[in-house]
Structure 1
Amino acid sequence: MAAKRSKVPRFYFNFRSPYSWIAYRDLMDRYPDVAQAVEWHPWWEPDADGERRMAEHRRHFPYAAMSREKHLYILQDVRRLTAERGLSVSWPVDLDPVWEVPHLPYFLALDAGLGPAYIERVYRARWLEGRDICDRTTIAAIAEELGLPADRAAAAAEDEELRAGRGLQALLTLSEAGAFGVPFFTHGYDKFWGVDRLPAFVDSIRSGSRPGAGSGARSRDTPPAEPSDTDFAAARSADPGHAGGCG
């Protein structure tokens, strides 16, 4: 069965990937009009429980592990890309990461009207401060800064209702879209993978080359239409071939 295609452009963002973070910064700093036109969808590598839930719906997570050589290349590539943008990066150390920990609280922030602020703060914690965002105390601290319930945010990965509802739906959505890596953008049937494809995605939206670009009902994953300057301060690929969309 062919997957449904949203007429509204989408940005699949991820907190783990340095390329997703760079794409996020480019989107906000260079293309703020497009940032307001897209739907924002979290993308993360599910744990065993998440993969089991996807399999029950006959879906899988479209991911393939990268080689050590590619990982070393990414370190060099990200250093170049961040230097070009005047960004400093503090590489975090991931020890036994559970990516539900930073990603599932996004939905709590979104419901509180703080989706954009949460995205900015988690990216800043990971890539500028070098903090472990899979540490529940880190997420609790971020939630507290934003005025969100710290205990609930820190325990989001264990929230059965959240996992079975919004979390599972997000995983099924990225699978249906064929989002095999990040940053990943879709506009109708067109797909764009990697930081270097962001300008083409932007052109597609601005030119109105696809019906429904920037129009239609906004999903629950879409940030507010008018974020403040403080909301945005500043995004790994499954495919072993393309450096601009992996990490």
Structure 2
Amino acid sequence: MKRRPRLYFSFRSPYSWLTLHRLRREVPDIFDQIDCYPYWDPDAKTNAGLAERGAELHYTQMSRAKHFYILQDTKRLAGQAGLAMAWPIDVDPWWDLPHLAWLRARREGRAVPFYDALVAARWERGEDICTPEVVARAAVVAGVDPDAARTAPEDAEIRAEGIDCLAAAYDDDVFGIPYLRLGRHRFWGLDRVDHFLAAWRPDADAQTDPTVAVPAAVLAGPAFDTDTAGGCG
């Protein structure tokens, strides 16, 4: 049996937020149809666990110039999608917290409502989702145990599951977010969503041909950067 499509997403990335919005508009039950892996900048403890697995992040930090471009680009794209947006200010963020809390919520069968509560807090209200208070409030909204959510990084099993997700990203050559994989085909960035949908559901009304603008060597080879826009860490 072929593996299901995989989506690597991040609460940090505005393009990840817009990508899932686009996917859910086309496939409302997308969370049930694909395997989702959270991806983030890990703290020292998670990094140590990755090192023990012989894994690391392929992603490198973006420049200040790229950050400002993404700010303008995201506001433009959010407006086109009819989404209100408040750009959050990240000060010394601890990304393990919201992503591990999401894994904890998934164990309770509340992955989707908790995802929605976190992205609403971050992208609609500009809140700091890397704080226990905001995570706990999102958990209450989503029907998740707030204490379990805000203390998820202290749960050894959840921490190990997070390391598994990042190790899978390493094995799948993930270098930026959002990142979709369908068999041997990889799709990086918001502007590759239609290509992914056309490849995944060829009988649906696809807007684009999934192979357009993708060199044959990329489709046939192991892993190459296509340097597409609409993707970040």
| TM-score of the superposed pair, with normalisation by structure 1 | 0.80
Give the match for residue 157 of structure 2.
161
User: Is 1:178 the counterpart of 2:173 in the alignment?
Assistant: yes
Equivalent-residue separation in structure 1 for 2:106 and 2:185 (angstroms): 27
Give aligned-pair identity as a percent: 39
Aligned 1:215-234 pairs, distance under 5 A: none
Equivalent-residue separation in structure 2 for 1:80 and 1:246 (angstroms): 16
On the 8 A contact 1:74/1:243 being kept in 2, the answer is no
User: Is 1:140 the counterpart of 2:136 in the alignment?
Assistant: yes
Give the match for residue 230 of structure 2.
244
Please state how far the C-alpha of 1:33 moved relative to its aligned partner. 5.9
Cα deviations across residues 116-156 of structure 1 (Å, max 9, x unaligned)? 11111111110001110001111111112223221121111
Ranges in structure 1 where 5+ consecutive residues have no aligned partner: 1-5, 209-238
Aligned 1:1-247 pairs, distance under 5 A: 7-32=3-28, 34=30, 36-163=32-159, 165-207=160-202, 241-246=227-232
Please state how far the C-alpha of 1:30 moved relative to its aligned partner. 2.7
Please state how far the C-alpha of 1:177 moved relative to its aligned partner. 1.0
Equivalent-residue separation in structure 2 for 1:127 and 1:207 (angstroms): 32
Equivalent-residue separation in structure 1 for 2:43 and 2:111 (angstroms): 23
Cα deviations across residues 186-205 of structure 1 (Å, max 9, x unaligned)? 00111000000000100111
Equivalent-residue separation in structure 1 for 2:29 and 2:106 (angstroms): 20
27-36 or 180-189, which deviates more: 27-36
Equivalent-residue separation in structure 1 for 2:31 and 2:109 (angstroms): 16
Equivalent position amino acid for 2:196 in 1: F
166-175 or 16-25, which deviates more: 166-175
Ranges in structure 2 where 5+ consecutive residues have no aligned partner: 204-224
Cα deviations across residues 156-184 of structure 1 (Å, max 9, x unaligned)? 12323321x21111111111111111110
Equivalent position amino acid for 1:154 in 2: R
3-state SS of paired residue (2:201): helix
3-state SS of paired residue (1:245): coil
Equivalent-residue separation in structure 2 for 1:151 and 1:31 (angstroms): 32
RMSD: 1.8
On the 8 A contact 2:58/2:175 being kept in 1, the answer is yes
3-state SS of paired residue (1:49): helix
Give the match for residue 218 of structure 1.
none
Please state how far the C-alpha of 1:35 moved relative to its aligned partner. 5.0
RCO higher in 1 or 2 (8 Å CA, sep ≥ 6)? 1
CA spacing shift, 1:167–1:34, aligned 2, 3 Å: closer
Residues paired across the two proteins, number: 211
Cα deviations across residues 65-102 of structure 1 (Å, max 9, x unaligned)? 11111111111111211111111110111111110110
Give the match for residue 214 of structure 2.
none
Equivalent-residue separation in structure 1 for 2:227 and 2:41 (angstroms): 19
Please state how far the C-alpha of 1:241 moved relative to its aligned partner. 4.7
Equivalent-residue separation in structure 2 for 1:144 and 1:66 (angstroms): 34
184-193 or 110-119, which deviates more: 110-119
Equivalent-residue separation in structure 1 for 2:107 and 2:53 (angstroms): 26
Equivalent-residue separation in structure 2 for 1:240 and 1:68 (angstroms): 22
